[in-house]
Chains A and B, each alone.
Chain A
Amino acid sequence: MGRAAHCSGGDWTGPPADWHRGRAVTLRRLFFPFWLARVRLARRRERFALVVVGLGAAAAMLGAVLAGTVAAQDREVGRKVATLPDSVQAVRVNWFSVGGQAAPYARLDAHVRSELHRVVDERPTGTSLYRESQLGGALLGLGAVDQLGRWVHLRSGRLPRRCEPERCEVLVIRHGGRIPNVPGLRLVPVGEGDLRTATLFGDAVPAATLGQSAFVRQITRYHRPAPPPLVLANGVAGLDRSPLLHDSYRSYGWVVPLERSSVRSWSANDLAARIEHARSVFQAQSFGFELSAPVDELRAAVDASKVSGRRLLLLGGEAVALLLAFAVLAAARLRPDVDASRRRLLSSGTRRWQVGLLVIAESAAMALCGALVGWVAGSAVAAAVAGRTGEPVASLLRHSVLSGGGIALALLLAAAATLVLAAALTVRPVAVRGLAVSPLDVAALGAVAVVAVALARGAADTGDLLASNGTGVVLLLLPSLVGFAAAVGAARLLPAGLRLLERAVPRDALAFRLAALGLARRPGYAAVAVGFVVVSIGLALFAEAYRSTLVRGQHDQAAYAIPADNVVREDLSQLVPVRSVVTPRVVGSLRPHARVEPVVRLAGNISGATDVTGIAVLGLGGQALRGIDGWRGDFSSSSPADLAARLEPKGSVALRGAPLPAGAKRLELPIAVTGTEVGVAASIRRHDGSFATLELGRNAGARPQLLAAPIPPDARGGTLIALRFEPPPKLEERGADAGAPAVGSVSLGRPRADGRVVTDYAGWIGTTGVRSLSEGERLRFGLTLTNEFDTYVRPRQPTDGIQLPAVVSPRMAEIAGPDRLLGVVVAGQPLVFRVAAVATRFPGGAAPGTDDFVVTDRETLETALNAATPGSGFPTELWLETGPGGRPAVEARLRRIPFPLLAVSSQAALESSLRSDPVARAALAMLEASALIAILLALLALVLGVVSERRDEAADSFDLEAQGTPPVRLRRQLQLRALVVAGAGVAGGILTGIVLSLLVVSFVELTANATTPSPPLALSLDWLVVVASALVAVALGAVLVGLVTGRSFREPVPARYGGAR
Chain B
Amino acid sequence: MSVAVETRDLFRVHSTPEGDAAALQGLTLTIAEGEILTVLGPSGSGKTSFLRILAGLDTPSAGTARVFGRDLRGLGFGGLARYRSKTIGYLDQHFAQALAPELSARELVGLKPRAEGIEREARESRSLELLDRVGLSGKADARPGLLSGGEQQRVALCAALAHRPRLLLADEPTGELDERNARLVYEAIGELAAAEGCTVVIVSHDPASTSVADRFVHIRDGRVSEESVRGAGESTIVVGRGGWLRLPQEFLERAGIGSRAAASLEDDRIVVVAAGSDGQRAEEPEAAAEPRHPGEAVAVVRDLSKTHGRGAAAAHVFSGLESRFEGGRLTVVTGPSGSGKTTLLHLLAGLELPDQGEIEVCGEPMQSLDRAGRAELRRRHVALVAQQPGLVPFLSARENVELVEAIRGRSGEETHEVLASVGLAERAGQRVSRLAAGEQVRVAVARALAARPRLLLVDEPTARLDQANALTLAALLSTLARETGAAVVCATHDPVVIEQADAELALAASERVVPAPA
- On A, residues with C-beta under 8 Å from B are 1-13, 24-29, 32, 35-36, 39-40, 43-44, 340-341, 343-345, 347-352, 354, 499, 507-508, 510, 513, 517, 520-521, 955-956, 958-968, 1049-1054, 1056-1061
Binds A, one of B100-108, B130-138, B270-278, B294-302: B100-108
When A10-B164, A344-B97, A1058-B388 are in contact, do A351 and B115 touch as well, CB less than 8 Å? yes
When A10-B86, A350-B85 are in contact, do A1061 and B342 touch as well, CB less than 8 Å? yes
When A12-B163, A959-B386 are in contact, do A964 and B371 touch as well, CB less than 8 Å? no
Judged by a CB distance under 8 angstroms, whether B11 is at the interface is no
| B366-416 at interface with A (beta carbon < 8 Å) | 370-372, 375-376, 378-380, 382-384, 386-390, 392-395, 403-404, 406-408
Main secondary structure of the interface of A (DSSP, over half): helix
When A343-B97, A1059-B460 are in contact, do A5 and B375 touch as well, CB less than 8 Å? no
Taking the closest CB of chain B, its distance from the CB of A513, in whole angstroms, is 8
**Count class of interface residues, chain B:** 35 or more
Binds A, one of B232-240, B255-263, B332-340, B423-431: B332-340
Judged by a CB distance under 8 angstroms, whether B1 is at the interface is yes
Chain B residue numbers with a CB within 8 Å of A1049 are 371
Chain B residue numbers with a CB within 8 Å of A967 are 371-372, 375
| B92-151 at interface with A (beta carbon < 8 Å) | 92, 97-100, 102-103, 107, 111-119, 122, 149
Give the contacting residue for B376; candidates A508, A956, A964, A1051; CB below 8 A: A964
Q: Is there an interface contact between A1058 and B386, defined as CB atoms closer than 8 Å?
A: yes
Q: Cα distance A340–B94 when bound, in Å? A: 12
Give the contacting residue for A1052; candidates B90, B102, B338, B371; CB below 8 A: B371
Q: Which residue of A lies closest to B408 (CB)?
A: A964
Q: Cα distance A354–B81 when bound, in Å? A: 12
Please encode chain B, from 343 to 379, with 1 for each CB lying within 8 Å of some chain A CB and 0 for all others.
1011001011100000000000000001110011011
Q: Is there an interface contact between A349 and B117, defined as CB atoms closer than 8 Å?
A: no
Q: Is there an interface contact between B387 and A39, defined as CB atoms closer than 8 Å?
A: no
Judged by a CB distance under 8 angstroms, whether B193 is at the interface is yes
Q: Cα distance A554–B508 when bound, in Å? A: 82
Q: Is there an interface contact between A1056 and B352, defined as CB atoms closer than 8 Å?
A: yes
Give the contacting residue for A9; candidates B164, B195, B387; CB below 8 A: B164
Give the contacting residue for B118; candidates A1, A28, A959, A962; CB below 8 A: A28
Q: Cα distance A26–B193 when bound, in Å? A: 29
Q: Is there an interface contact between A347 and B92, defined as CB atoms closer than 8 Å?
A: yes
28 pairs from A and B in contact (CB 8 Å cutoff): A8-B196, A9-B86, A9-B166, A12-B116, A13-B163, A29-B117, A39-B107, A43-B102, A340-B97, A344-B100, A349-B85, A350-B85, A350-B115, A351-B115, A955-B390, A963-B379, A963-B404, A965-B379, A966-B375, A1053-B352, A1053-B371, A1058-B345, A1058-B386, A1058-B387, A1059-B387, A1060-B176, A1061-B317, A1061-B343
Q: Cα distance A348–B57 when bound, in Å? A: 12
Q: Cα distance A43–B393 when bound, in Å? A: 35
Chain A residue numbers with a CB within 8 Å of B463 are 1059
When A1-B1, A7-B196, A1058-B459 are in contact, do A13 and B86 touch as well, CB less than 8 Å? yes
Taking the closest CB of chain A, its distance from the CB of B345, in whole angstroms, is 8
When A1-B34, A28-B119, A521-B393 are in contact, do A39 and B103 touch as well, CB less than 8 Å? yes
The 5 closest A-B pairs by CB, nearest first: A964-B379, A959-B390, A6-B197, A7-B197, A4-B34
Give the contacting residue for B351; candidates A29, A43, A961; CB below 8 A: A961
Give the contacting residue for B81; candidates A6, A11, A25, A352; CB below 8 A: A352
Q: Which residue of B lies closest to A22 (CB)?
A: B117
Q: Is there an interface contact between A1052 and B353, defined as CB atoms closer than 8 Å?
A: yes
A25-B116, A963-B404 known, 10 other contacts, Cβ within 8 Å: A3-B34, A3-B194, A6-B195, A347-B90, A349-B85, A349-B86, A517-B403, A964-B382, A965-B375, A965-B379
Judged by a CB distance under 8 angstroms, whether B165 is at the interface is yes
Q: Which residue of A lies closest to B315 (CB)?
A: A1061
Q: Cα distance A521–B371 when bound, in Å? A: 26
Judged by a CB distance under 8 angstroms, whether B33 is at the interface is yes
Taking the closest CB of chain B, its distance from the CB of A819, in whole angstroms, is 71
Which of B88, B100, B107, B195 has most chain A Cβ within 10 Å?
Answer: B100
Which of A1, A1052, A1057, A1058 has most chain B Cβ within 10 Å?
Answer: A1058
Q: Cα distance A967–B371 when bound, in Å? A: 7
Q: Cα distance A645–B517 when bound, in Å? A: 107
Chain B residue numbers with a CB within 8 Å of A27 are 117
Taking the closest CB of chain A, its distance from the CB of B347, in whole angstroms, is 10
Q: Which residue of B lies closest to A340 (CB)?
A: B97
Which of B1, B115, B406 has most chain A Cβ within 10 Å?
Answer: B115
Judged by a CB distance under 8 angstroms, whether B12 is at the interface is no
Q: Cα distance A344–B404 when bound, in Å? A: 36
When A341-B100, A348-B112 are in contact, do A12 and B122 touch as well, CB less than 8 Å? yes
Q: Is there an interface contact between B376 and A8, defined as CB atoms closer than 8 Å?
A: no
Taking the closest CB of chain A, its distance from the CB of B313, in whole angstroms, is 14
Q: Which residue of A lies closest to B113 (CB)?
A: A12
Q: Is there an interface contact between A1061 and B341, defined as CB atoms closer than 8 Å?
A: yes
Judged by a CB distance under 8 angstroms, whether B84 is at the interface is yes
Taking the closest CB of chain B, its distance from the CB of A496, in whole angstroms, is 11
Give the contacting residue for B378; candidates A1, A35, A955, A963; CB below 8 A: A963
Taking the closest CB of chain B, its distance from the CB of A198, in whole angstroms, is 74
Chain A residue numbers with a CB within 8 Å of B451 are 963-964
Chain B residue numbers with a CB within 8 Å of A13 are 85-86, 116, 163-164
Taking the closest CB of chain B, its distance from the CB of A225, in whole angstroms, is 94
Chain A residue numbers with a CB within 8 Å of B107 are 39
